[in-house]
Amino acid sequence: MPKTALLAGATGLIGAALLPLLLADARYAKVVAVGRRPVALAHPKLVQVVTELDELESHRLQLIADDVFCCLGTTQKQAGSKEAFYRVDFLYVVQLAALAASNFAGQFLVVSSLGADAASRVYYPRVKGEMEAAVRKLPFRATHIFRPSLLLGSRARPRLGERVAAAALALAGPLLRGGWAKYRPVAASAVAAAMLHAAKSDATGVRVHEAAGA
C-alpha cells in the first residue's frame, strides 16, 4: 500500500537532496514537507506545510505520515546563540518525533552527528546525544539515527570553516581506513540516499548509521 512520507528540513543540505528522492519513489503516494520556508518545487505528490517550527502541534492533522524524515539542524554560529541552537537541534527535533509517534508513524529517521554523546563536555555533541536519547524512547517500529561526518554539498550560505576542514579531510581521506573511515567527509546526497534505503529496508528497533556514506 502506498505510504506518506513527512520531511522536515527540506531546504537544508540533506533535506534538499532527499526531497526529490522521496517524490520519485513509488513507495510514497504523498510527501509532506514541513518547514519555515517553502521549497521551490512543484510536484503532484508534494504537500507543503509552511509554519514556524514551534507551532507544529497546530498542524497535527497535516503531519500524519508513515515514515518521518528529520533533517533539521544548525550550528551555534548560524543560530546566533546556544539557546537558539538547542531549540532547533533538540527541542524541534524531539517535538516533531513526539508528534509523529502520537500520530502512529511507523518509522522516524533523523540526522544527528558523528560523535554525538549525551555525556560529552562539548556542547554540540552533547545536545546531539541528548536528542538521540530522547528520540530512542519513543515507540516507533523503527528509529534510524544517522551520524555523518563533515557534509559535502552546495549550501545557500557557505561555511568557511567547513570548507577548510573538508579540504583537509579530503587530503587525509585515503589514510582513513577501518574504524577511521567514518571520519571521511560525506556528500549530503549520499546521506539522503542512505536514509531512503533505510526506510525501505523495513527494519525494526533502533539503528545507528555511522559509516562513510551513512
Query: Residue 169 maps to which CATH number?
Result: 3.40.50.720
The answer to whether residue 86 is domain-embedded is yes
Q: 28 lies in a domain?
A: yes
The amino acid sitting at 129 is: G
**Chain segment 53-64, per-residue pLDDT in tens:** 999 999 999 999
For residue 180, the model assigns a pLDDT of 45
List, in sequence order, every residue forming a beta bridge with 6; answer none if it has no partner: 32, 68
Q: What is the model's pLDDT at position 183?
A: 59
Which residue range(s) make up the domain with 71?
3-209
C-alpha cell at 163: 570548507
Please report whether residue 188 resides in a domain: yes
Look at residue 75 and tell me if it is in a domain. yes
Residue 45 · residue 30 · CB < 8 Å: yes
Residue 172's pLDDT is what?
A: 47
The answer to the question of residue 203 being in a domain is yes
Whole-number Å distance between alpha carbons of 69 and 162: 24
Q: What is the pLDDT of residue 113?
A: 94
**Structural domain includes residue 165:** yes
* pLDDT number for residue 150: 87
| CA dist list (Å): 148 to 13, 32, 209 | 12, 24, 8
- Under 8 Å CB-to-CB from 91, ≥6 apart: which residues? 54
Residue 214 located in a structural domain: no
pLDDT of residue 202: 86
In a domain, 106, yes or no: yes
User: What are the strands of the beta sheet with 67-70, ordered from one edge?
Assistant: 46-50, 28-35, 3-8, 67-70, 107-111, 142-146, 205-209
What is the greatest pairwise CA distance in the chain? 50
Residues of the chain with pLDDT under 50: 155, 160, 162, 164-169, 172, 175-176, 180, 213
Q: Is the pTM of this model over 0.85?
A: yes
In the chain, how many domains are there? 1
pLDDT digits (tens, 9 = 90+) for 131-147: 999 999 999 999 999 99
Within the chain, strands assigned E span: 3-8, 28-35, 46-50, 67-70, 107-111, 142-146, 151-152, 186-187, 205-209
